[in-house]
Amino acid sequence: MSLLSVRDLTVTYDTQRGPVRAVDGLDLDVPAGSITGLVGESGCGKSTLGRALMGVLPDRGKIAAGEVIFEGQDLQTFSASARRALRWRRMAFIPQTAMNALDPVQRLSAQMAEILIERGGLSGREATARSSELFRLVGLDPARLAAYPHHFSGGMRQRASIALALALNPSLVIADEPVTALDVIVQRQVLDVLRELQARLQLSMILVTHDMAVVAYACDRVAVMYAGQIVEAGLAAEVLERPLHPYTMGLTHAFPDVHDSQMSLVPIEGSPPDLHTPPPGCRFAARCPFADARCNNEPPPSRPFGPDHLVACWHAEDATTLRGRAADPQTWAAIA
């Protein structure tokens, strides 16, 4: 059974131009003990989804419909305080700007103690011991607990915020772009920390990123998000090797590969739809080289292909031929 299961989730923001559905009828399952990569381009709603799951949406955002089942319980039925009690203890969040989200004027030991004592009910002494343990866990020297965040490099701050998230042994950690602003070497080190902790503590993790290579390196599973919806989800090996959705196919050709000098990158032309007025059919249709009349008019439902692979595309049956065509830059250039 899934640790987390999201059904038909819709999150709206109130804006001057009216409500915008940043997450729109989204389904997602996160099995226990896995790292799920959530990929998609800027503005597709990754952070919104993460925040909605944690119950920490900004003021103008609200869950308009759907349910979030976590450890068998529907979180929508929880009171605000019950929800709060869950945070940190059962599920933890590493916000997108974690590096800057640490309190700059408090020592890390104090920030750690605040969570451990106030949220976790530990004694001062226990908190100190646990803080040191957590720092060691993420590969930081416990002697540096007395430091302020600005004494740390970007990678170290990211590790510290991971340590904070793990403070109360949550079973689910949602990490919003934990490596985006980091150098490759530091990125690799942080990903290794996450992978190792996941294996050691049997955590589940949602790792938000926009980099397919990060997914390939660190995740067991992947969910590809486009314009507020999951368009493809499944085992990372499966989705990356045999993508069924044209958008995923496009993404796999959009990254250069260090070991391949022959490849030519294929941009996905155009830009995502305005979420104030989403198109009636498939949201990707305007950028999709394979779109036909049905794509433009009817939204494709999410359908299973194989044991653990979901896709929302009318042409998923033809994926094998489409993959071949998607590798050709001319196919995508026609959209521009």
Partner 1 sequence: MTALLQAEGLQKTFHSRGREVHAVQNVSLSVSPGEALGIVGESGCGKTTTARMLLRLEEPSAGRIMFDGADITNAHGRHLIAYRARAQLVFQNPFDALNPRFTIRRSLTEPLRNFAIPVSEHQDRIESVMRRVRLVPAESWLDRRPHELSGGQLQRVVLARALISGPSLIVADEPVSMLDVSVRAGILNVLRDARDSLGLAALYISHDLALIRYVCEQTIVMYLGRIVEQGPTAELISRPAHPYTRALVAAVPVARVEQNREGLPIRGSLSDAPPDPSGCLFRNRCPSVMPRCATEAPTLRTIAPGRMVACHLEGAM
Partner 2 sequence: MLYWTRECPSVRSASRVLRFLRHEPFAVAGGAIYFVIVVVAVFADELAPYDPRAILKLGSRIARYQPISAQHWLGTNSSGRDVLSQVIWGTRSALEVGLTAAIAVVAIGTVLGLLSGYLGGWVDRVITWLADIVLGLPFLPFMLVLAALTHPGTGIVVFSVAALLWPNTARVIRAQVLSLRERAWVEAARVTGCSTTRIMFVHVLPQVLPLAALYGSVAIGWAILAEASASFLGFGDPTAISWGVMLQEAYANQALSRGAWNWFAPPGAAIMAMVLAGFLISRGSERLLFPKLADQ
Judged by the rule CB under 8 A, the positions of this chain that interact with partner 1 are 41-42, 152-156, 183-189, 191-192, 195, 210-218, 236-237, 240-241, 250-261, 263-269, 271, 336
- What span, in angstroms and rounded, lies between the C-alpha atoms of 20 and 76? 21
User: Does residue 275 interact with ligand ATP by CB under 6 A?
Assistant: yes
Q: How far is the CB of 284 from ligand SF4 (least distance, A)?
A: 4
C-beta of 3 vs 295, nearer to ligand SF4: 295
The tokens for 164 are 């904070």
Residues 175-204 touching partner 2, rule: CB under 8 A, are: 177, 180-181
- Report if residue 15 touches partner 2, rule: CB under 8 A: no
For the chain, count helices (H), then strands (E): 13, 12
d(Cα 164, Cα 295) in Å, to the nearest integer? 45
The rounded distance, in Å, linking the Cα atoms of 26 and 49 is: 9
DSSP tag of 285? G
Partnered with residue 224 across adjacent β-strands are 39, 232
**Residue 97 interacting with partner 2 (CB under 8 A):** yes
The residues that touch ligand SF4, with contacts defined as CB under 6 A, are 245-246, 282, 284-285, 288, 290-291, 295, 300, 313-315
Rounded CA separation 186/24 (Å): 35
Q: Rounded to 5 degrees, what are φ and ψ at 286?
A: -65, -25
Residue 181 interacting entry, from ligand SF4, ligand ATP, partner 2, none, C-beta within 5 to 8 Å by type: partner 2
What the block records as the tokens of 257 is 């590969």
Q: Identify which of residues 13 and 314 has a Cβ nearer to ligand ATP in the complex.
A: 13
CA–CA separation, 93 and 142 (whole Å): 22
* 3-class secondary-structure state, position 68: strand
User: Measured between alpha carbons, how far is 247 from 41 in angstroms, rounded to an integer?
Assistant: 11
* Contact residue for partner 2 among 87, 89, 144, 210 (CB under 8 A): 210
Task: State how far the Cα of 135 lies from the Cα of 166, in Å rounded to an integer.
Answer: 10
What string marks each residue from 32 to 51 as x (binds partner 2 by CB under 8 A) or -?
---------xx---------
Query: Residue 247 CB, nearest distance to ligand SF4 (Å)?
Result: 6
Within residues 61-120, the interface with Mg ion by CB under 5 A covers 96
Q: Are 116 and 127 spatial neighbours (Cβ–Cβ below 8 Å)?
A: yes
Q: Does 128 bind partner 2 (CB under 8 A)?
A: no
Window 44 to 63, contacts with Mg ion (CB under 5 A): 47
Q: Closest Cα partner for 245 from 230, 232, 255?
A: 232
Q: For residues 58 and 104, which CB has a smaller minimum distance to ligand ATP in the complex?
A: 58
Name the binder of 73 from ligand ATP, partner 2, Mg ion, none, CB < 5-8 A by kind.
none
Q: Which is nearer to partner 1, 78 or 217 (CB)?
A: 217
Residue 146: both structure tokens together: 């007395």
The smaller minimum CB distance to ligand SF4, of residues 193 and 291, is found at: 291
Contact present, 10 and 23 (Cβ < 8 Å): yes
- Binding footprint of Mg ion on the chain (CB under 5 A): 47, 96
- Binding footprint of partner 2 on the chain (CB under 8 A): 41-42, 97, 100, 177, 180-181, 210
- Binding footprint of ligand ATP on the chain (CB under 6 A): 13, 15, 20, 22, 40, 42-48, 58, 60-61, 96, 210, 275
